[in-house]
């Protein structure tokens, strides 16, 4: 008989602005360890040495995020060398992929307790990594395989007739919803406040120490449609994709605790949710943003549900053009998509995003007393991913 896998709890950091936000001088392994410490402390009956693995999603596992950062985060966050760790990279779906791996291992009797999630610091990392070495043969025969995300967003806008006006309006609404969510305190319970100690030299080369706490998402900002329409396209001459209708580069970490049904009973815990199904698809890399169009129905079907059974969608807003293409082509109800804003406002810390959206989904389903949600995203090099989340209490 297959073992059930449950999400017992989950937390995330606030999302910082890359290069200029509160985490710009903070290492990603430290940030992830902070979230994991809080996660484990929230389940006092759990002996840390009984955790079978720490699985960390990361889209650029090099430099400060290298050296199998998953294992280092396990050591740092749990304070024991008895729990292994690994790093997983499926670009933007890395954080959701780790939860799916945890589910699969537990259901097949390979583990009873796994911490799964992701971390990304785009402050410390150049986009794509510090040393990009494309295959010259592929570059000649299939150049779109290496296209930057901005170019793919332009291709989606053109192929799916998404106007500049619609993209800017979508971006504006993302910020408005995110600002409203922050003002209402909707993210407060899911965010782990992080204490930062910033040591630096002032203009007189004297050592200075600054202490502050990061506990609020930094990306949302008040804007107007007039301001957004004035922005110039940044990826193509005559294009429609701008900095204002694209996701923000960001820093963040998010993790959930996944546990077997027998361990949940043993520790007398009440699980909050479960990942019912998870799907990954391949699409044309030139228009990678459409990935959720195929991933969503596949995941929903795997769950034995229909689109009408889904109460909420967390669609990663890589770009307004691809978000609108997905919503229209997949037939999603816009009223239940990104109800608290998306990555255009809240940021997109790559390998963290899938876990971050899962944590947000669980909290919002609970707040609305709803049962099913879908976390979905497009993935670089032509992929799409989607997971169905069921709220249990």
Which single residue is written with the structure tokens 């032509």?
Answer: 382
Report how far residue 339's alpha carbon sits from residue 289's, in angstroms, rounded to the nearest whole number. 20
113 catalytic? Reply is: no
H-helix or E-strand containing 391?
strand 383-391
Nearest Cα to Cα of residue 280 among 355, 383, 382, 373: 383
DSSP state letters, 233-292 = PSSSTT----STTBPPBEEEEEEEEEEEHHHHHHTT----EEEEEEEEEE--GGGGGGHH
Query: Cβ distance 384 to 294 under 8 Å?
Result: yes
378 catalytic? Reply is: yes
| Residue 14 CB partners (closer than 8 Å, separation 6+) | 22, 187, 191, 193, 194, 214, 215, 216, 217, 218, 252
DSSP 200: E
DSSP 380: T
Q: Say which of 38, 175, 348, 363 is annotated catalytic.
A: 348
| Share of the chain residues as helix, strand and coil, in percent rounded to the nearest 5 | 40, 25, 35
Nearest Cα to Cα of residue 173 among 122, 129, 116, 228: 228
Report how far residue 344's alpha carbon sits from residue 220's, in angstroms, rounded to the nearest whole number. 8
Buried-exposed string 99-132: b where 16+ CB fall within 10 A, e elsewhere: bbbbbebbeeeebbbbbbbbbbbbbbbeeeeeee
352 catalytic? Reply is: no
DSSP state letters, 32-101 = HHHHHHHHHHT-TT--GGG--EEEEE-SS-SGGGTTTHHHHHHHHHHS-SSS-EEEE--GGGHHHHHHHH
Report how far residue 161's alpha carbon sits from residue 141's, in angstroms, rounded to the nearest whole number. 27
Q: Is 5 left (phi over 0), alpha (psi -120 to 50) or beta?
A: beta
Nearest Cα to Cα of residue 179 among 187, 191, 167: 187
Nearest Cα to Cα of residue 347 among 335, 337, 356: 356
Q: Say which of 92, 113, 175, 363 is annotated catalytic.
A: 92
Catalytic residues: 92, 348, 378
């Amino acid at each position: 008989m297959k073992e059930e896998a449950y999400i017992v709890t989950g937390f995330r950091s606030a999302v910082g602005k890359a290069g200029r936000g509160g985490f710009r001088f903070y290492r990603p392994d430290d940030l992830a360890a902070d979230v994991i410490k809080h996660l484990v402390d929230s389940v006092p009956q759990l002996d840390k040495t009984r955790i079978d693995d720490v699985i960390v999603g990361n889209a650029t596992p090099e430099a400060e995020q290298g050296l199998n950062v998953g294992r280092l985060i396990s050591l740092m966050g749990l304070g024991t060398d008895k729990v292994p760790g690994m790093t997983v990279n499926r670009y933007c779906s890395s954080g959701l992929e780790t939860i799916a791996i945890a589910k699969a291992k537990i259901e097949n009797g390979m583990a009873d307790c796994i911490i799964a999630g992701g971390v990304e610091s785009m402050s410390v990392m150049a986009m794509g990594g510090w040393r990009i070495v494309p295959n010259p043969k592929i570059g000649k025969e299939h150049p779109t395989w290496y296209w930057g995300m901005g170019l793919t967003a332009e291709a989606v806008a053109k192929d799916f007739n998404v106007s500049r006006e619609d993209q800017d309006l979508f971006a504006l609404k993302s910020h408005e919803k995110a600002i409203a969510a922050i003002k209402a305190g909707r993210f407060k319970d899911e965010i782990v406040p992080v204490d930062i100690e910033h040591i630096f030299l002032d203009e007189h080369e004297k050592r200075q120490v600054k202490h502050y706490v990061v506990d609020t998402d930094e990306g949302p900002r008040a804007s107007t449609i007039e301001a957004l329409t004035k922005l110039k396209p940044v990826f193509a001459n005559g294009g429609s994709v701008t900095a204002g209708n694209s996701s923000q580069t960001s820093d963040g970490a998010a993790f959930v605790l996944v546990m077997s049904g027998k361990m949940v009973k043993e520790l007398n815990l009440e699980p909050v949710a479960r990942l019912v199904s998870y799907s990954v698809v391949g699409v044309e890399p030139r228009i990678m943003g459409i990935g959720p169009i195929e991933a969503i129905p596949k995941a929903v079907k795997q769950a034995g549900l229909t689109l009408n059974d889904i109460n909420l969608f967390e669609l990663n807003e890589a770009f307004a053009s691809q978000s609108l293409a997905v919503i229209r082509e997949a037939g999603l109800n816009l009223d239940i998509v990104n109800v608290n804003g998306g990555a255009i406002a809240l940021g997109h810390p790559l390998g963290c995003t899938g876990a971050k959206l899962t944590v947000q989904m669980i909290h919002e389903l609970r707040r609305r007393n709803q049962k099913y949600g879908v976390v979905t995203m497009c993935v670089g090099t032509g992929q799409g991913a989607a997971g169905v989340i069921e709220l249990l209490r």
